[in-house]
């Protein structure tokens, strides 16, 4: 897809640990069109964060290593870019928001200085000019009496306010792509909604594409245009948000949707998917979901399925949808 803004192809990221080689991300292919929001979902440990870290060039190495693939951003392979160009792209063309703003913000620098920094570093703006713009951005992300907060330190703000500061920092250079890894997970439900609608509003206004990682399918349903479902380091299903919710194809996606708490259905998860995600260091034999899959048959335990396009626009990695299934398993 040459018109994609971000095009990840065959990305594999391995971690070399004392327990063996952890295949955190295995042959992942994903693409995001300009202005589009792609939701990336899946249980904890399935490789969502490592995939995003690879996009922004921040996979910890060692122990991590990108062993295969391409990450094309505006046509250019980021995996081949030198560290200096990567630094330029990151923060200017690709903005990032992470789950815990306290670790991303520098505790000894003022909010104003940190929000202004990308303008100074990437756009060569003078510090006083950048500070004025930072104040406007703090106002834009609805931090009350923004100008007076420029001199505040991160610990003086609430969690929600810190996350707004992160959004201002990520968006201030008007990036083409915003990468948001569980941006609201640490916040309470009311704040989550406010922050997400703020992000949606800014993204529409600036026409920014977004890679939104979350384990909250409700958030995805409200925000994303397309969804990729990850399991054990692979993309097992990818589809438009409506078709995916209306008719999930992969048994894992079906399980995830059933475990989604519904409005008025009370608290907690109704149907957890039984079993656990295989460890990244476990040897692969067949489909990684076979051990938990209610529809698994012999072939699933033997052969590893790959992501195939089915029913025109749907992509799924599951032998139930293999066109040659009839011949293979009579």
Task: Give which of 218, 216, 215 is closest to 263, Cα–Cα.
Answer: 218
Strand blocks (E) in 161-311: 177-181, 209-213, 226-231, 234-240, 308-310
**How big is the chain, counted in residues?**
330
Per CB under 6 A, 137 contacts ligand ADP:
no
Residues 6+ apart with CB under 8 A from 88: 122
**H-type helices in 59-188, by residue range?**
83-92, 101-104, 111-123, 127-140, 146-149, 159-171
Pick from 7, 11, 22, 104 the residue near ligand ADP by CB under 6 A.
22
Pick from 44, 103, 190, 326 the residue near ligand ADP by CB under 6 A.
44
Per CB under 6 A, 63 contacts ligand ADP:
yes
Q: Please, which residue, 44 or 128, has the CB nearer to ligand ADP? A: 44
CA distance 288 to 252: 11
The site partner of 17 among ligand ADP, Mg ion, none (C-beta below 5 to 8 Å per kind) is ligand ADP
Pick from 49, 114, 163, 192 the residue near Mg ion by CB under 5 A.
49
CA distance 122 to 130: 11
Site for ligand ADP in 261-290 (CB under 6 A): 280
CB of 190 to ligand ADP, least distance (A): 25
Q: φ, ψ for residue 165 (rounded to 5)?
A: -60, -45
| Span interacting with Mg ion, options 47-55, 67-75, 116-124, 198-206, rule CB under 5 A | 47-55
| Span interacting with ligand ADP, options 14-22, 123-131, 198-206, 290-298, rule CB under 6 A | 14-22
The site partner of 47 among ligand ADP, Mg ion, none (C-beta below 5 to 8 Å per kind) is ligand ADP
Distance between start and end Cα atoms, the chain: 36
Q: Please, which residue, 16 or 302, has the CB nearer to ligand ADP? A: 16
Q: Under the rule (CB under 5 A), what is the footprint of Mg ion? A: 48-49
Q: Under the rule (CB under 6 A), what is the footprint of ligand ADP? A: 15, 17, 22, 24, 42, 44-50, 60, 63, 280
């Amino acid at each position: 897809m040459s018109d994609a803004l971000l095009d990840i192809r065959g990305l594999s990221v391995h971690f070399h640990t004392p327990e063996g080689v952890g295949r955190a991300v295995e042959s992942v292919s994903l693409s995001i069109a300009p202005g589009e929001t792609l939701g990336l979902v899946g249980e904890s440990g399935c490789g969502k964060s490592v995939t995003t870290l690879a996009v922004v060039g921040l996979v910890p190495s060692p122990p991590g290593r990108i062993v295969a693939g391409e990450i094309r951003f505006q046509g250019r392979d980021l995996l081949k870019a030198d560290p200096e160009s990567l630094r330029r792209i990151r923060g200017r063309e690709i903005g990032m928001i992470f789950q815990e703003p306290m670790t991303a913000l520098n505790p000894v620098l003022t909010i104003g200085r940190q929000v202004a920094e990308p303008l100074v570093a990437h756009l060569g703006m003078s510090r006083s000019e950048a500070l004025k713009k930072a104040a406007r951005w703090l106002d834009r992300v609805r931090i009350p009496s923004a100008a007076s907060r420029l001199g505040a330190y991160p610990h003086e703000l609430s969690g929600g306010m810190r996350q707004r500061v992160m959004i201002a920092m990520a968006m201030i250079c008007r990036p083409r792509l915003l990468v948001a890894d569980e941006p609201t997970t640490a916040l309470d439900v009311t704040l989550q909604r406010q922050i997400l609608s703020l992000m949606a509003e800014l993204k529409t206004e600036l026409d920014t594409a977004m890679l939104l990682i979350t384990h909250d399918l409700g958030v995805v349903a409200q925000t994303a245009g397309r969804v990729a479902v990850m399991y054990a380091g692979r993309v097992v299903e990818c589809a438009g948000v409506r078709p995916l919710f209306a008719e999930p194809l992969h048994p894992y996606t079906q399980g995830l949707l059933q475990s989604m708490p519904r409005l008025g259905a009370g608290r907690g998860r109704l149907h957890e998917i039984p079993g656990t995600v295989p460890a990244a260091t476990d040897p692969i034999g067949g489909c990684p979901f076979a051990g938990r899959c209610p529809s698994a048959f012999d072939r699933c335990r033997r052969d590893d399925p790959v992501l195939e396009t089915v029913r025109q626009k749907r992509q799924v990695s599951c032998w139930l949808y293999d066109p040659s299934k009839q011949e293979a398993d009579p």
